[in-house]
Amino acid sequence: MTRQFFRQMETRQRGDRIELTEFIDHLSWSEQQLIPVVTQQYDSGEVLMVAWMNAESLRLTLEEGWVTYWSRSRQCLWRKGETSGNRQRLIELRADCDGDTLLCLADQQGPACHTGRDNCFYYTMLPHSGEVVVNASQPETA
């Protein structure tokens, strides 16, 4: 049913509107009722992190304007920055063409990674040399 819904959506034109709850109902949720979310800094395009949302975290994100994820390891809602203060203010939330991935454009306040780095993607793989390079240092603490 999700595939058919998004197939029909392909003919929509710029500016067409769809009811939000119907759209969310047709997202392609995993067996665990989760959907992956790629989060980018809204003004630079820097990819900050990849996480998961369930229906409740998606609803909270849209209602409150602060990004909330689902923590698979802790099996609970994860309000980004709730303990660190490094919150993500929602700017825009998008879905891909077949409804199986979300793109969150956010204003990151502080580092995005739990290591204190600006983003979670600080390993660069160099296939020709067979090496991986750490491309950002962990900030020093006072």
CATH code: domain of residue 56: 3.10.20.810
Residue 21, domain member (yes or no): no
* pLDDT at res. 1: 67
Tens of pLDDT along the chain (142 residues) come to 678 888 998 999 999 999 999 999 999 999 999 999 999 999 999 999 999 999 999 999 999 999 999 999 999 999 999 989 999 999 999 999 999 999 999 999 999 998 999 999 999 999 999 999 998 888 877 5
Residue 19, domain member (yes or no): no
- Residue 100: C-alpha distances to residues 31, 35, 79, 107, 126 (Å): 12, 6, 22, 23, 30
Residue 72, domain member (yes or no): yes
Total count of domains within the chain: 1
Range of the domain at 47: 2-8+34-110
